[in-house]
With several copies, the nearest count.
Chain A
């Protein structure tokens, strides 16, 4: 048991379980699975006097659960990497531990935050929950996630990575 669990988990084990979170979150908490709303929640929480409609009109109480979900994911990350892994996980390649690496992560982060909120969801809200509910805009979003990712990787990959 531990031999298997302490190694990286294969797709056919972790994939279905990741998918299970969508119905589980609906059944146990009545919430639709999606992570990027937590960014808006954080923004609205950290700038209570903001005049920007996007943050001012956001219902902080209603969205509080998104931060609880994010906290849970962080706890799960700690559990998975510290207690359930035989060897340390290489989250980021060594070359990212540099000023240029940090800048790349920051720029990538900006695109993630801006893009996810502009598109109305990220990989969890669009690619998993949206596709699972056969929502056509989510299919379009997922396609363009890959358009952007493949474009950068194949177009700028030699420069960036």
Chain B
């Protein structure tokens, strides 16, 4: 009975039925799209992990050398990465490119608040001490560096610390 009902309802020109059909069709595409998003994200992540490792930004010594001004390697990497990313974003904006699912690409600007300064300084200190940033922690773990689990657990503890203290911190 239910199927017969549906069949007789769907071709009807009533706008409600059409909207329902459309929503159903959309949700079924977005399920396939979601799987695709995860697949491409995994691919881009792998690409990035290889680059993190082979460019040596995963090495503690490289970070230390950067802060000691003994090595321009990391400055040049960050500089050229930002330049290329900027050109890419310029083209995306200028050429009104959507993502491959047809959705508009929009950068959501990160807002300014006191945490950008205070948290930024704390992050920089951690970057120098552990010689890692969140991205390279994952690359170190994947490479089988057991000690990196201390950095990782620390980072999670830091995140919990922020979750806990957020209401009392200046923003």
CB distance from A118 to the nearest CB of B (A): 3
Report if B143 contacts A (CB, 8 A).
yes
Asked if B37 contacts A29 (CB within 8 A), the reply is yes
Contacts of B105 in A (CB 8 A): 26-27, 30
Asked if A144 contacts B121 (CB within 8 A), the reply is yes
Task: Determine the distance from Cα of A8 to Cα of B41 in the docked complex, in whole angstroms.
Answer: 25
> Nearest B residue to A112 by beta-carbon distance?
B126
Contacts of B91 in A (CB 8 A): 23, 27
Contacts of B144 in A (CB 8 A): 78, 81-82
Contacts of A151 in B (CB 8 A): 121, 124-125
Asked if B68 contacts A153 (CB within 8 A), the reply is yes
Contacts of B99 in A (CB 8 A): 26-30
Contacts of B16 in A (CB 8 A): none
Contacts of B130 in A (CB 8 A): 104-105, 107-109, 111-112
Asked if B80 contacts A135 (CB within 8 A), the reply is no
Asked if A68 contacts B45 (CB within 8 A), the reply is yes
Asked if B134 contacts A81 (CB within 8 A), the reply is no
Contacts of A72 in B (CB 8 A): 41-49
Dominant SS among interface residues on chain A: helix
Asked if B54 contacts A131 (CB within 8 A), the reply is no
Contacts of B42 in A (CB 8 A): 68-69, 71-72, 75
CB distance from B50 to the nearest CB of A (A): 4
Contact of B138 among A24, A73, A148, A152 (CB under 8 A): A73
CB distance from B136 to the nearest CB of A (A): 8
Contacts of B72 in A (CB 8 A): 11
Task: Determine the distance from Cα of A11 to Cα of B51 in the docked complex, in whole angstroms.
Answer: 10
Asked if B138 contacts A77 (CB within 8 A), the reply is yes
Known: A23-B91, A27-B91, A122-B134. A89 touches B85 (CB 8 A): no
Known: A72-B43, A81-B53. A150 touches B155 (CB 8 A): no
Task: Determine the distance from Cα of A34 to Cα of B115 in the docked complex, in whole angstroms.
Answer: 17
> Nearest B residue to A82 by beta-carbon distance?
B143
Report if B109 contacts A (CB, 8 A).
yes
Task: Determine the distance from Cα of A36 to Cα of B167 in the docked complex, in whole angstroms.
Answer: 20
**Complex interface bits, A85-118 against B, C-beta within 8 A gives 1, otherwise 0:** 1000111110011000111111111111111111
> Nearest A residue to B150 by beta-carbon distance?
A105
Asked if B135 contacts A73 (CB within 8 A), the reply is yes
Known: A14-B55, A91-B148, A136-B112. A55 touches B142 (CB 8 A): no
Spell out B's residues near A (CB within 8 Å): 37-38, 40-56, 58-61, 63-64, 67-68, 72-73, 76-86, 88-89, 91-92, 95, 97, 99-101, 103, 105, 107-113, 115-135, 137-145, 147-148, 150-164, 166-167, 169
Q: List 6 A-B contacts (CB under 8 A).
A: A16-B83, A76-B53, A84-B53, A109-B151, A132-B89, A152-B124
